[in-house]
Amino acid sequence: MKILVLLLGLVLGSAFAGYAVPRVQVQLSVEPTTQAFTCRYTFALPAGDTTTVLRLNLRKAFRVQRVQGGRAIVQTRRLYYPYFADTMQQVVARYPAGRQARMLTLDYTGTLDKERTTAAQVLEFSGHTNWLPFRHLQEYEVVEYALGVRVPAGYQVRSTSPPLGAKPGYFRFEGRACALELTAIIAPQFWQAVASRGPAIAVVKAGAALSPMEAAILPKAQDIVAFYNRTIGRQDSITRFTVLLTGTKQDAFAVLENATVITYADNFDVAQRGDLLTLAHEISHKWWGYGSVHDETDWLNEAFATYSSMLYLQARGDTAGYRQNYEKLAKTTPNTPPIIGFDRTKYESGMYRRVVYNKGMVVLAALHAHVGTQQLYTILARTAAQQVSTTSAFLGVVGQVAGAETRTWLQARLSE
């Protein structure tokens, strides 16, 4: 039995006009018994973008069947991609000068990795499945998309946003997400716990009923969101958030669309400090997801999410937990390179976490001590609302809120 998953954008051509970010259309067909799939992916640049060379990277394990680029000259090659520590295939489309539409369509086939499926017939197409093409060095580029999902009888689909319409065998979604984060979770059935008041928060589980441990995620998520909305998110509050539980593989990651995917199989326990920190970390990525993952600015994503989760602990009275987590991470930071100018490709893989997560957290804690809690919240709230994506822009916010002297002091800390 085949599952047809259609990520339907607007009609090609004029329907893509008028958008400031790229538009994406994907059509995906999956065979659940074998996890094999075929995919048609169309990437369209905004009408005013006259880029003449478009590069899309795709996993080397997938087989490209056809490439369509209109008037473009299309070539394919292979290249090593440090971010995934693997060789990828790249499709290069060279367009003539002018203002004609720049769209590139790839038809390819592949097999879903076994860790992205379960015995309960859950299929996870998500940001960590790595099933979609993306522009070179821009896997987290923001795109506009529409998602339509067609499934046979007996299957349902959930995504990171509520469906715009649904009828038997068909679900439709639209939104704005990072290029790799378009999400379709397919399962015979789903269970959920939904907040009865406040922001529309839901915990959605694929394939099996929520355990008491998993149901406990909802009130904790509500508490975390309430804290963040009063502090770092007070200029850009969360009104909707979804926690997706797939049971497929042990990791957790945030999605720009006010969602997180937690793929821990039946052992994610927010009564434990470590898992509570993970949940708070991932929820905070609603604001901390705009720095590049290829240079120093990734600290604006990961250090900020790490420290946000620690601020939650501290505000809830767990000062011992704050201190223990601080000391555990801080002890990894001596003899590390400065954050400003950090190039992850020049160091062993472990240095990335020591600098981007841990050293960045130490710097934010120092800023906290330097300016005080209320001024720190003002800095973070303004940074979040402005979707700051560079260290220099963050330093600018610090200077606006706390003054030029504090800006200079912080720049020196980031250069140590």
Output the pLDDT for position 112: 93
- Give how far the C-alpha of residue 273 lies from the chain's centroid of Cα atoms, to the nearest Å: 23
Least confident of 25-39, 283-297, 322-336, 358-372: 25-39
Please give the Cα distance from 355 to 344 (Å, whole number).
9
Output the pLDDT for position 296: 95
Least confident of 49-53, 57-61, 124-128, 262-266: 262-266
* DSSP designation for 117: B
Q: Which two tokens stand for residue 304?
A: 């900020």
What per-residue string of b and e applies to 125-150 under the rule 16 or more CB within 10 Å gives b?
bbbbbbbbbbbeebbbbbbbbbbbbb
Output the pLDDT for position 10: 37
φ, ψ for residue 389, nearest 5 deg: -130, 5
171 forms beta bridges with 149, 166
Does the pLDDT at position 358 exceed 80? yes
More reliable by pLDDT, 16 or 370: 370
Q: What would the pLDDT profile of 3-50 be if each residue is shown by its tens digit? A: 443 443 333 444 444 568 999 998 888 787 788 898 999 999 998 888
145 forms beta bridges with 24, 175
Sign of the dihedral defined by the CA atoms of residues 328, 232, 179, 203, in that order: positive
Q: Which two tokens stand for residue 375?
A: 């001024």
Output the pLDDT for position 341: 97
Q: How confident is the model at residue 149 (pLDDT cuts 50, 70, 90)?
A: confident
Output the pLDDT for position 264: 84
Mean pLDDT of 90-99: 90
Output the pLDDT for position 21: 93
Packing angle of the helix pair 391-402, 404-414 (nearest 10 deg): 150
Output the pLDDT for position 5: 39
Q: What would the pLDDT profile of 215-238 be if each residue is shown by its tens digit? A: 999 999 999 999 999 999 999 999
Does the pLDDT at position 171 exceed 60? yes
Please give the Cα distance from 19 to 64 (Å, whole number).
28
In terms of Cα–Cα distance, which of 10, 2, 101 is closest to 49?
A: 101
Output the pLDDT for position 9: 36
Please give the Cα distance from 192 to 194 (Å, whole number).
6
Kind of pairing, strands 156-158 and 184-187?
Answer: antiparallel
Name the burial class of residue 22, with classes exposed (0-12), middle (13-18) and buried (19+) by CB atoms within 10 angstroms of its CB. Answer: buried
More reliable by pLDDT, 313 or 153: 313
- Helix (H) / strand (E) containing 178: strand 170-178
In terms of Cα–Cα distance, which of 33, 192, 35 is closest to 112?
A: 35
Backbone torsion region of residue 9, taken as left when φ is above 0, otherwise alpha when ψ lies between -120 and 50, otherwise beta: beta
The full set of domains in the chain, from first to last, is: 3-187 (2.60.40.1730), 191-284 (1.10.390.10), 296-414 (1.10.390.10)
Output the pLDDT for position 19: 66
* DSSP designation for 70: T
Average pLDDT in the chain: 92
Task: Give start and end residues of each alpha helix (H) in 72-141.
Answer: none
